[in-house]
Amino acid sequence: MIDWPLAELLPHAGDMILIEQILAFDEEQIHTRLRVKPDGLFNLPDGSLPAWVGIELMAQSVAAFAGCHARQRGDATQLGFLLGSRKFECNVDRFPAGTELTLHGIRSLEDDNGMGVFECHINAPGIHASARLNVYRPPQAAQYLDESEGVQS
């Protein structure tokens, strides 16, 4: 179990941090967990969490993977972007309140330009979800954002 504060590893704040704990990570993968709280930002009236939020849970696990590696190197956490997902499949339409979800993300590709692909899974008794996430972490995120602000549509 990794007891580093999640707020130091994720570029999220407050209630937007949905995962609760990093169980383990190495060079290619991360394991995280959370218990579905009945009063979260995305919960349905019955306290359950819609299955589509699983994409965000997976993305936060990938962000935690990057944050853990940055911390190991002594670097600051960097901003990253979820570009999209492919093949999201879930055998339920919601995660019941109180359910402990475990997430597993495996890096299948990452290049020097910051593009990456992760195979992700969510599991709990009777629950399985999977997706392939395409992510992008600009090498100079602050500079990237400054350049983006100058672009007008």
For the domain 6-149, what is the CATH code? 3.10.129.10
- 152 has a pLDDT exceeding 60: no
Structure tokens at 2: 């990794």
Domain limits, the chain = 6-149
Q: How confident is the model at residue 1 (pLDDT cuts 50, 70, 90)?
A: confident
Handedness of CA 76, 135, 68, 122 (dihedral sign): positive
Average pLDDT, the chain: 90
Return the SS3 of 95.
Answer: strand
For residues 29 and 142, which has the higher predicted lDDT (pLDDT)?
29
- Dihedral of the CA atoms 81, 45, 15, 82 (nearest 10)? 0
**CA–CA separation, 6 and 19 (whole Å):** 8
Q: What is the pTM of this model?
A: 0.89
